């Protein structure tokens, strides 16, 4: 059975996350239903990461096994036809080795979080960014973020229902950029690691927002990390500002 890698973009608003669920809409379910229109029968796809309810993706990667050979371009075009009107599309498709795996072959995952500071509600970016009204101090947030880089026990920033075997992860990047935004400012958090714990990124951003607002000192982030206690975490920010930006592999299957 030939295997194909799919690079998938989606708006997570109408879905209960990536993972297929019996009675709820999911991104995985939408893609598998589209595959069934091309080759009837059950399809099971695997993804690089299981995004939560309301989380978006610019470059989620999944793989599927087909009964017959497809030209990758024709497969992506056919899938996009059958994915309508769901806010999901295949932006790239490639034939890969039979043992290639979207999750287990991945070397790094990259996330983006968008936070907008302005008094007025969001219109064009409603559901695509987290809006807060109080000004934020970029230098303070960067100082707080520095305590999170490297290998740590991230129990404090891990959801209680997280199924990872260990809370120890290595955070390779946590950069914060400030941009102009109509009527306010936008802060973009860029995070990279081989893998993340459940709610880890949203826990980071929610905590750093408290630092930027002056409710926490940057050193409080270090104290919270060292506590290894979920109760020490700041508020978890909402999902709709979070994007799975891209996934790295030893060799990019889409080049």
Residue 188's pLDDT band, with cuts at 50, 70 and 90, is very high
pLDDT for position 161: 86
The tens digit of pLDDT for each residue in 63-112 reads 999 999 999 999 999 999 999 999 999 999 999 999 999 999 999 999 99
Distance CA 141, CA 246 (A): 24
What Rg, from alpha-carbon coordinates, does the chain have? 19
> What is the model's pTM?
0.96
Residue 164 has pLDDT above 90, yes or no: no
C-alpha–C-alpha distance, residues 44 and 20, integer Å: 9
Q: Which domains, from first to last, does the chain contain?
A: 3-105 (3.30.70.580), 108-246 (3.30.70.660)
Find out whether 206 and 235 touch, Cβ atoms under 8 Å.
yes
Amino acid 162: pLDDT: 85
Q: Report the share of the chain in percent with pLDDT over 90.
A: 95
Average pLDDT estimate for 196-209: 97
d(CA 131, CA 115): 6
Name which of 46, 8, 2 is nearest 254 in CA terms: 8
- Residues 6 or more apart whose CB falls under 8 angstroms from that of 131 comprise 115, 116, 117, 118, 121, 122
In the predicted model, is pLDDT for residue 163 greater than 90? no
Q: What is the pLDDT of residue 25?
A: 96
- Reported confidence tier of residue 4, pLDDT bands at 50, 70, 90: very high
Q: Look at residue 22 in the predicted model and tell me its pLDDT.
A: 85
Question: Annotated catalytic sites, by residue?
Answer: 52
């Amino acid at each position: 059975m030939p295997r194909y890698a799919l690079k998938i973009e989606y708006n997570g608003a109408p879905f209960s996350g990536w993972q297929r669920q019996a009675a709820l809409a999911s991104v995985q379910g939408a893609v598998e239903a589209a595959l069934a229109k091309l080759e009837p029968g059950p399809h099971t796809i695997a993804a690089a990461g299981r995004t939560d309810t309301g989380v978006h993706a610019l470059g989620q990667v999944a793989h599927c096994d087909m009964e017959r050979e497809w030209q990758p371009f024709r497969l992506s075009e056919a899938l996009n036809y059958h994915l309508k009107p769901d806010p999901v599309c295949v932006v790239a498709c490639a034939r890969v080795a039979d043992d290639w795996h979207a999750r287990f072959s991945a070397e790094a995952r990259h996330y983006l979080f968008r936070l907008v500071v302005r008094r007025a509600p969001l219109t064009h970016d409603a559901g695509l960014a987290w809006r807060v009204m109080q000004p934020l101090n970029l230098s303070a947030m960067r100082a707080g973020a520095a305590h999170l880089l490297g290998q740590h026990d991230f129990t404090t920033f891990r959801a209680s229902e997280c199924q990872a075997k260990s809370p120890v992860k290595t955070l390779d990047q946590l950069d914060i950029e400030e941009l102009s935004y109509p009527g306010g400012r936008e802060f973009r958090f860029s995070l990279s690691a081989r893998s993340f714990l459940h709610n880890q990124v949203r826990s980071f951003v929610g905590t750093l927002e408290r630092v930027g607002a002056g409710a926490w000192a940057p050193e409080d982030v270090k104290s919270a990390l060292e506590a290894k206690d979920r109760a020490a975490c700041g508020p978890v920010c909402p999902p709709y500002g979070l994007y799975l930006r891209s996934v790295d592999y030893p060799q990019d299957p889409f080049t």
